[in-house]
Amino acid sequence: MPPSDTPEAPKDAAAEPAPDVVTEKGVPTQKGDAPKGGPAAELPHGGAPGIRFEKVVKRFGSNVVLRELDFTVAPGERVTLIGPSGSGKTTILRLLMTLEALDEGVIWIGDETLWHMERGGKRVPAGQKHLHEMRKQVGMVFQQFNLFPNMNVLRNLTEGPVRVLGVSKDEAVERAKGLLDLVGLADKENAHPTQLSGGQQQRVAIARALAMQPKVLLLDEVTSALDPELVVGVQDLLRDIARQSDLTMLCVTHEMAFAKDISNRVLMFDQGQIVEEGPPDQIFGEPSEQRTRDFLQAVLAS
């Protein structure tokens, strides 16, 4: 059963609004033309899938983190998830990256289910092979960077393309250099992660995620572990990437100004459910829910 009632592409996008194309299956997939040359050449273009959560439940022991959560992200849409800690935002990203297993419900990426596959007309839990295929569409940047300390920067960027995508070593190196150029670290290809500042490490981590040519990019509090003076640089980079690519992006952040810049839509979470959603101007400017107002006040005060 393919997802229905996908929302229209958001109209308030700061950059180019993403045009939806409805495929025969009735599932929106985005069409885009890859620009030739220029810095954006390294970034993925076209075919970004939408995402849809259907009655998703996630528990940790007796603690229910997500309660029958429903939401949809349009192809190429950039959505920021805000809310108090423990509200389930990060869990949503971790479910999409298959770092946590789904308890109940269905997650769609495009017209395919992430955690289920069809067998004999029935929907059964996905095997490793299915998960491997589905993960190819998704990339993630972590709060703690998680670069491989035993490899230099270049190898961090080529490991995945060579081992997973089957790209030749030369081509992977070439692309990696292009990506390092994009994130402003062209001179650091031989450095080891420990020799880099937090901000530089996070730029490498962003480049590493992009090297896998994902169509969905997950950003999990990517500036929370950075010294204040390094935050802006990483945010500017992500803003450029958002502007120059048509990735579907899900972003968990406590930086409200960044959320406002980067996203088409903001979802306010509390206790595993969406309290309020809307364009950033509305959520940050005139939130209608008391819980949203309280949360924003608390964040701005800190």
Partner 1 sequence: MTWDWQYSGDILPDLLSGLRYTVIATLAGYVIAIVLGLVWTLLRRTPSRVFNQTIRWITEFIRSTPLIPQLYFVFFVLPAWGITIGSLTAGIITLGVHYSTYTAEVYRAGIADVPKGQWEACTALNLPRSRVWLDVILPQAIRRVIPTLGNYLIAMFKDSPMLLAINVAELLFSAYQVGSRSLQFLEPITIVGLLFVVVSVISSILVRRLERRYATI
Instruction: Give me the residues that bind partner 1 (CB under 8 A), please.
Output: 97-99, 132, 135-136, 138-140, 142, 144-151, 159-160, 163-164, 194, 208-209, 212
- Based on CB atoms, which residue is closest to partner 1, 140 or 256? 140
- Give me the least distance between CB of 21 and partner 1, in Å please: 27
Q: Which is nearer to partner 1, 122 or 129 (CB)?
A: 129
Cβ(113)–Cβ(106) below 8 Å: yes
Q: Based on CB atoms, which residue is closest to partner 1, 92 or 256?
A: 92
- Say if residues 15 and 238 touch (Cβ distance below 8 Å): no
- What CA–CA distances, in Å, run from 129 to 75, 116, 126, 138? 24, 11, 8, 15
- The rounded distance, in Å, linking the Cα atoms of 296 and 290 is 10
DSSP state of 286: S
Which CB sits closer to partner 1, 23 or 146? 146
Quote the least distance from Cβ 97 to partner 1, whole Å.
Answer: 6
User: Smallest distance from the beta carbon of 149 to partner 1, in angstroms?
Assistant: 5
Residue number, 145 or 269, with CB nearest to partner 1 = 145
- The least CB distance from residue 96 to partner 1, in Å, is 10
Torsional sign, CA 230, 236, 239, 244: negative
CB of 238 to partner 1, least distance (A): 17
Sign of CA dihedral 149, 180, 167, 101: positive
CB of 250 to partner 1, least distance (A): 13
Helix, strand and coil percent figures for the chain, each rounded to 5? 35, 25, 40
Residue with smaller CB distance to partner 1, 59 or 136: 136
Comparing CB distances to partner 1, the nearer of 209 and 237 is 209
Distance from C-alpha of 263 to C-alpha of 261, rounded to nearest angstrom: 6
CB of 15 to partner 1, least distance (A): 25
Q: Which DSSP state fits 38?
A: S
Name the pairing type of β-strands 116-119 and 104-109.
unpaired
Strands (E), 27-103: 28-30, 51-60, 63-73, 78-82
